Amino acid sequence: MILPKSSRLAPEQEAEVTAIVAEFGCKIQPIIGAVRTIYAILGDERDELMINRLEGLDYIDRIDRIQSPFKLMDRRSDLANGRLTLGGVTLGKELFVIAGQCTIDPKNPNFFYETAQAVKEAGAQMLRGGVWKPRTNPYTFQGDTKSLDILMEGSRRTGLPVDTEVMEEEHIKLALDAGVTLLQVGARNALNYSLLRAIGRALGTRTDRAVLLKRSIHMGAVNEFISAAEYIAAFGNPNIILCPRGTSPGLDGYRNHPDESITPLLKEKTWAAVVVDPSHSVGKASYVPACALAAVAYGADGLCIESHVNPSHGIGDDPKQALTPEVLHKTIRQAKQLWSVRRGDAA
Ligand code: PEP
Ligand code: MN
């Protein structure tokens, strides 16, 4: 990783650095951070001669060689100085809440508009709504591209930015063109490296969009989770949120094995914000508030919660795990109180 002395390299400096690393079979990838742009060396960066030549340039501060399977996502990376702001919230400074329906029902758009307004009033800063759905059963509703318009209309009516899952390359462009702020990679695609690469490529260095990467559905090692995020970051976009959402096999009586407890471990290894999804983790509306609070107690920066104005009339996961706006409101209020306790503000 190349750290320049100034906030970014001038074009002729970038050209010189590019030419040097090319001699050693490497490329550079700019990563626009909040404080400065840094340059990842793509390829084998162990050649001492290459490092010495780069370090000899008077406009280079230093070369960081982090020995880590995820050198950009690593806590010791220069990217740790950046902060992501979404929906007016700087993650890490106050609790960030994404809420909304699991699945948008294209036959009942009014439910979505009412849900959007209700989650805003309950305190959410971002609206979620599933347009395309990864369903275990191929004969159940798989989502509908028409719902993208409903999602964006919900965003316009409330002023909230939106989050939706993308499962195929085609979805990425549709979602970005429509104005989706947060692209969600679901638990089933969390290790789909070609999709992760496609997202990284599509976002490039765009600082106005971000990715919510769920933890893979099977209980993989935490390093595997962070390395999946590295696939996206390697294309230059550090706007990545990690989302534990429970793993499989589930804990007896729960949909999955709740894993909000990995939050401190993630925070030790990486600088990325952690937004926990308690809805898929426990899979039952009555258990969701406790799981949400546990996530905040463990140090999560935010929550992604399924909510619906009328859960029993919802589709997808909503009948079983969506919170009503009243319960969502209470959960957010309590989560904020716990956040203050965590920070040591409360007596
Ligand atoms: C969802 O968010 O509705 C969803 C399908 O999530 P996951 O990928 O975590 O199962
Ligand atoms: Mn869902």
pLDDT at residue 82, rounded to an integer? 86
Q: Which of 251, 263, 183 is nearest to 222 (CA)?
A: 263
Place of tokens 């591209």: 145
Ligand 2 centre to CA of 236 (Å) is 29
Ligand 1 centre to CA of 280 (Å) is 7
pLDDT at residue 259, rounded to an integer? 97
pLDDT at residue 99, rounded to an integer? 99
Place of tokens 């999602």: 151
pLDDT at residue 187, rounded to an integer? 97
Give the chain's radius of gyration (CA, Å). 21
pLDDT at residue 294, rounded to an integer? 98
Ligand 1 binding pocket, CB closer than 6 Å: 102, 130, 134, 165, 186-188, 214, 245, 277, 280, 317
pLDDT at residue 65, rounded to an integer? 85
Ligand 1 centre to CA of 268 (Å) is 25
Residue with the smallest CA separation from ligand 1 atom 9 is: 187
Q: pLDDT tens per residue, the chain (347 residues)?
A: 999 999 999 999 999 999 999 999 999 999 987 778 999 998 888 899 999 999 999 999 999 888 888 999 999 998 998 899 999 999 999 999 999 999 999 999 999 999 999 999 999 999 999 999 999 999 999 999 999 999 999 999 999 999 999 999 999 999 999 999 999 999 999 999 999 999 999 998 888 999 999 999 998 899 999 999 999 999 999 999 999 999 999 999 999 999 999 999 999 999 999 999 999 999 999 999 999 999 999 999 999 999 999 999 999 999 999 999 999 999 999 999 999 999 887 65
* pTM higher than 0.85: yes
pLDDT at residue 347, rounded to an integer? 54
Q: Can you tell me whether residue 275 is helix, strand or coil?
A: strand
Place of tokens 């969390």: 190
Alpha helices in 234-304 (DSSP H): 263-269, 278-282, 288-297
Torsion of CA 137, 241, 65, 36, to 10 degrees: 140
Residue with the smallest CA separation from ligand 1 atom 3 is: 102
| Phi, psi (deg, nearest 5) at residue 41 | -90, 115
Of ligand 1's atoms, which has the minimum distance to the CA of residue 317? 3
Residue with the smallest CA separation from ligand 1 atom 1 is: 102
CA distance 276 to 206: 24
CA atoms lying within 13 Å on the CB side of residue 199: 34
